[in-house]
Structure 1
Amino acid sequence: MRVAIVSESFFPSVNGVANSVRHVVEQLVALGHEPLVVTPGPGPDHHRGVPVVRVRSLGLPRYRDFPVALPDRAVESALVEFRPDVVHLASPFVIGAAGLRAARRLGVPTVAIYQTDVAGFARQYGVRADLLVDRWVARLHRRVDRTLVPSTASFDQLNALGVDDLHLWRRGVSLDLFDPSRRDAARHATLSRGGRDVLVGYVGRLAPEKQVRRLAEICRIPGVRLVVVGDGPERRWLGDHLPGAHFTGQLQGDHLATAFATLDVFVHPGTSETFCQTVQEAQASGVPVVAAAAGGPLDLVDHGRTGLLFEPRDEHSLWRSVVALARDAELRARLACAGREAVASRSWHAVVEELVDEHYRVVAHRPRAIA
């Protein structure tokens, strides 16, 4: 199949949307399909041999590494030239809206991936436009042929906004990269003061929407050393308020996998995650997880079996969860083992096969009328 992916973000940006699209592109090629990427922002015009059309963009204040598309006829021109069998809209909002309009005019079927809670994202930056944002997101998803959601929480959210033809499609995890064998015993010994401390870590963007300031609660736990992997606008605040924490900066590839596997406990404090990819990556790395009982983690963490869920409205719940794991090595080992088993079949290859066979092909064979 010829698949045009219109994405709000793509490599070299590092975020959930860009990373997911990169994996989808690579697996489509491996499966013998022909993808094209249309995306805003500067960057290479090919990714592993796949053409990438770059449209005009501007950077958001405090979020410069997430460029936003400007009105550009290049979107429709790219689709006309490529002649796709299906248009894949990755987290559609701005360029996704342009891609949807073009696809409808050309009579090309569309599959939209809901991935970002834009209203929740905006609230964390002090922008109160929930009603307008939700109306716009709902309008886009009501006009596509099929919407794929990553979690039951996302399904319920869009369903309440009047979006139908919703299907659950979870993201994959790089099982060849994230693995317990990546654990670095020497590094662990150094960071944990010879094993006297339990290494509790966060991996991800250091930004308000991730609610990373709650990591300060963990610094007060005796016998715990906090490890923070990532970068972003909250880095300075965290540096001032997390005494004794170890900051690695942003990591990728083998370095990221080693950082994950070398942790004793992984924590994600955010409550606005539609999925939470880092939970899967921690589980694949053989690390027990503590995550908020909200959004995507509700599907990924079976409380007490594959990890622990804390109640975000209880100001002591996160602290209690981390203390329970820090003090019980046997519990950590049991949750880590079950968590790894839970993601063992979620390779990117498998989930992209599902995407093609159960979603692309279905919409591509429906009768179409040019709109």
Structure 2
Amino acid sequence: MNVVVRHQAEALAALGHTVDILTRRSSATLPDFVDLAPGVTLRFLDAGPAEPVAKGDHESFVDEFRARMSALGPWDVIHSHHWFSGMAALPLARLTGTPHVQSFHSIAAPESSPLSWGERPESPGRLAGEAWLAQQSDAVIAISEAEADTVLERLGGSADRLAIVPPGVDGTLFRPSVSPPSSPGQSHPLESGPRESGPRGYAIVAARLQPLKGLDLAIEAVAAVAEDLRPDLIIAGDASSDFDGYVDELRELAAARGIADGVRFVGPQSREDLATLLSGAQVVLVPSHSETYGLVALEGAASGVPVVAAAAGGLREAVIDSETGLVMQSRDPALWAAAIARIVSDPAFADRLSHAGRERAELLSWERSAAGLAAVYRALLHPDAAGRHQELAIA
């Protein structure tokens, strides 16, 4: 979500709009604001303690965030990302007569759904809050058709106030490597020393380290690949404070499957470092249980790397099955292993997926994404304002 918000904001500013991004202060050392780009200002608002807090506890800061937000502006449009921001912003938008746009990025499962994969219960107001936002906001922007269907069917949103604006990808940053991906017998950028079977190529998962992202399946799948074809597995991402001990569980799983020396946890990566890791991989794995889109799948495709993704939510739109990657209908590790092995062992097949993925990614720029947002914003404003540049708040 952070990547989408920042890139869309910068692309909107490039179109001539002025954008404030509002977020909760999570450290006492943060300034009041930072200019991210010409026309884009990131503002830190005091709401709750100035320290990182588990996502599920943010609901208690909504009223304070709204109070801080009310001292800023005015704006032509307020666009909320995630339900916490919407709960803070929609009442303020109503009070000031400002159009309110809502994006969710993730939507809670129904209360009747069993808690799976170690997920914590949702914060108390989320289910009702998301439905209220879907039904009362002036517009709802979904990132994929899958998310749009959820807004309509689960939240009771209205089709005439719903728009789909896919994300973009920076095709200059995320681009194919000048050298071919590592393969068995070749080293990779994170090789730290000799190993009994010799240096290998690698598969990569880039995600927040939490059960919803299905990282256990990535480990099980790589472990099931025949040893002569098996890539190492790079896991890039920050551990989630909501799931203490999860990384240890993953390490234990890798050890139990006999691939502990081939699984590397490299932590959160800068955008530049992530681009380097993606472009050097043999395959990008996206084994999430749920995704509204799956931006890393698009970034992998832009990097010219085949993607193997779960058939979950918007991933079925981010990856075109058998054209830009493989979409897995099953979570059986043996089937995922077969998909990985096919890509690793069949260069012609891998090249076909790589080229098609890159060609598609080149059509999905952040400029195109921002233009889609601006069209929604303009439709909400009075006709005499439709042609002018706007002051936008993104919370």
Q: Same fold (TM over 0.5)?
A: yes
Deviation string, structure 1 residues 13-43 (Cα, Å, up to 9, x no partner): xxxx222211122222222211112221334
Residues 1-371 of structure 1 aligned to structure 2 (within 5 Å): 17-42=1-26, 43-44=30-31, 45-48=33-36, 50-57=41-48, 59-61=52-54, 70-73=61-64, 75-76=66-67, 78-79=69-70, 81-91=72-82, 93-119=83-109, 124-128=117-121, 133-161=126-154, 162-164=156-158, 165-181=161-177, 188=188, 191=191, 197-217=200-220, 218-221=222-225, 222=227, 223-224=229-230, 225-233=232-240, 234-242=246-254, 243=260, 244-356=262-374, 358-365=375-382
Match for residue 391 of structure 2?
A: none
In the aligned structure 2, how far is the partner of 1:27 from the partner of 1:79?
A: 26
Stretches of structure 2 lacking an aligned partner (at least 5 in a row): 241-245, 255-259, 385-395
Mapped to 1, the partners of 2:61 and 2:67 lie a distance apart of 13
Instruction: Rate the CA distance shift 1:60–1:366 in 2: closer, same or farther, 3 A.
Output: farther
Shift of 1:132: 6.6
CA contact (8 A) 1:75 1:98 kept: yes
Distance 1:334 1:147, change over 3 A: same
Q: Supply the distance in 1 between the matched residues of 2:170 and 2:187 (Cα, whole angstroms).
A: 23
**8 Å CA contact retained: 2:59, 2:123:** no
**Whole-Å Cα distance in 2 between the matches of residues 35 and 133 of structure 1?**
27
Summarize deviations over 1:115-147 as a string: whole Å, max 9, x none. Answer: 113338975444455997433211111110111
CA 171–69 in structure 1, closer or farther in 2 if over 3 Å, else same: farther
Q: Specify which structure has the bigger relative contact order, considering alpha-carbon pairs within 8 angstroms and separated by 6 or more residues.
A: 2
Q: Using the aligned pairs only, state the percent identity.
A: 27
**Structure 2 residue matching 1:305: 3-state secondary structure:** coil
Q: Provide TM-score, normalisation by structure 1.
A: 0.84
Query: Does the residue aligned with 1:118 lie in a helix, a strand or coil?
Result: coil
Count of equivalent residues: 347
Relative distance call for 1:195 and 1:118 in structure 2 (3 A) is farther
The letter for the 1-side match of 2:358 is R
Report SS of the residue matched to 1:94.
Answer: helix
Gaps of 5+ in 1: 1-16
- AA at the equivalent of 2:219: A
Alpha-carbon distance change, 38 to 254 in structure 1, aligned in 2, over 3 angstroms: closer
Contact 2:307-2:324 within 8 A present in 1 as well = yes
CA-atom RMSD in angstroms = 3.0
- Pick which of 253-262 and 275-284 moved more: 253-262
